């Protein structure tokens, strides 16, 4: 709790092959006091944390058990096996650098009728009109 952030050791693990990260995981924080202290480092006070993350904070106060996992990067493994240097070469439907999926034409324009059906109104700032 009173340690310098750069002196704290985390329970994190990675699987690396030839300098390429294939999997990554960690044991997540499950202590509400440490959660509050961690958020203070990014400028959020205790009241902010309780307001913005009430479900997580409340669960932790009841004594949530340690939890964690690992996420294998299957796409990265395939990239290595295929001998490709870019993950974009093996992803079936990659997005371009503008976050557009050119195969699906996404994101697409949303028609006003669609917005009306789900009761969404777009309100632009005055300078953008």
Q: What is the pLDDT of residue 65?
A: 87
Residue 112 to residue 121: CA distance in whole angstroms = 9
- pLDDT averaged over every residue in the chain: 89
Q: What is the pLDDT of residue 128?
A: 65
Tell me: pLDDT of 90 over 70: yes
Residue 126 to residue 128: CA distance in whole angstroms = 5
Cβ burial, residue 15 (10 Å; 0-12/13-18/19+): middle
Task: Measure CA 17 to chain center.
Answer: 23
Most confident of 10-19, 39-48, 91-100: 39-48
Q: What is the pLDDT of residue 87?
A: 84
Residue 94 to residue 78: CA distance in whole angstroms = 15
Locus of tokens 């974009």: 88
What six digits make up the tokens of 82? 């295929």
User: What are the boundaries of each domain within the chain?
Assistant: 5-94
Q: What tens digit of pLDDT does each residue of 75-85 get?
A: 888 988 999 98
Q: What is the pLDDT of residue 91?
A: 83
Tell me: pLDDT of 1 over 70: no
Q: What tens digit of pLDDT does each residue of 14-36 get?
A: 999 888 888 999 998 899 999 99
For CA atoms 50, 52, 58, 59, the dihedral sign is negative
Tell me: pLDDT of 121 over 70: yes
């Amino acid at each position: 709790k009173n340690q310098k952030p750069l002196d704290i050791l985390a329970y994190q693990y990675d699987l690396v092959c030839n300098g390429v990260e294939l999997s990554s995981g960690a044991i997540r924080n499950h202590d509400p006091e440490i959660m509050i202290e961690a958020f203070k480092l990014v400028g959020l006070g205790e009241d902010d944390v309780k307001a913005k993350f009430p479900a997580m904070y409340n669960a932790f106060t009841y004594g949530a058990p340690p939890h964690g996992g690992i996420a294998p990067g299957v796409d990265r493994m395939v990239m290595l096996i295929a001998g490709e240097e870019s993950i974009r070469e093996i992803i079936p439907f990659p997005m371009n650098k503008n976050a557009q999926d050119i195969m699906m034409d996404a994101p697409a324009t949303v028609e006003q009728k669609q917005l009306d059906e789900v009761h969404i109104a777009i309100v632009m700032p005055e300078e953008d009109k």
